[in-house]
Amino acid sequence: MMIEITKEDYEKVEQKMQKSIDNLQENFNAIRAGRANPHVLDKITVDYYGSPSPINAVANIQVPEARMITITPWDASILKDIEKAIQSSDLGINPNNDGKMLRLLFPMLTEERRKELVKQVKTYGEEAKVVIRNTRRDCIDKMRAANKKKELTDDSLKEYEEKVQKITDNYIKNVDEACSKKEKELMEI
């Protein structure tokens, strides 16, 4: 029995590749770029009544100035726990505690630190490209197996490979654009 390649098959490929772009954006949001971005706190959790909770679930986070974040917990008893969680994270900022809220002051990035962050951006970009290429390979291998079983014609396989390659090229281009945009943002003073 011959199988038919449908629009849904291509949509599945795109959905898998889009996940890598979304993950890349999450990684970029966590990179500290000289100005205050509340997303740098997304991956930091605090122990709240025995369960690890993200800071934005237990506190109000605001950006009153370009290089400052304030964190006001809804339950004042966890202020010290939030402070410890931030200190033990890889954020590299020591919070100022006034008893009611924490202030995170973001210093200007040094040239050396900017270059380190650009390297990190390139690494994240390369990882995303690898995931996209692996998705392409897995999808094409699946169709090649169907072709070997005579469930798919050679012409259909060739057409599928070409379309998946175009989709892959498009997503690789998106990764490159996202990386260069983030690099430019990091290198701005």
Question: Which of 160, 132, 188, 186 shows the shortest CA–CA distance to 4?
Answer: 160
Helix (H) or strand (E) holding 63: strand 59-65
Residues of the chain with CATH 1.10.132.20: 7-29+110-187
pTM of the predicted protein model: 0.71
Instruction: Provide CATH 3.30.1360.40 ranges for the chain.
Output: 38-105
Q: CATH fold of 7-29+110-187, please?
A: Topoisomerase I; Chain A, domain 4 (1.10.132)
The pLDDT assigned to 32 comes to 65
Question: Residue 99: which region, alpha, beta or left (left: phi > 0; alpha: psi -120 to 50)?
Answer: left
| Cβ contact 35:66 at 8 Å | yes
pLDDT of 43: 81
Class of the CATH domain delimited by 38-105 = alpha beta
Q: How many CA atoms lie within 13 A of 133 on its CB side?
A: 9
Write the single-letter amino acid at 109: L
Nearest to 175 by CA among 29, 24, 27, 39: 24
* Per-residue model confidence (pLDDT) at position 125: 96
Mean pLDDT by 10 residues, the chain (189 residues): 80 93 87 74 85 89 88 90 86 85 84 87 95 94 91 90 95 96 82
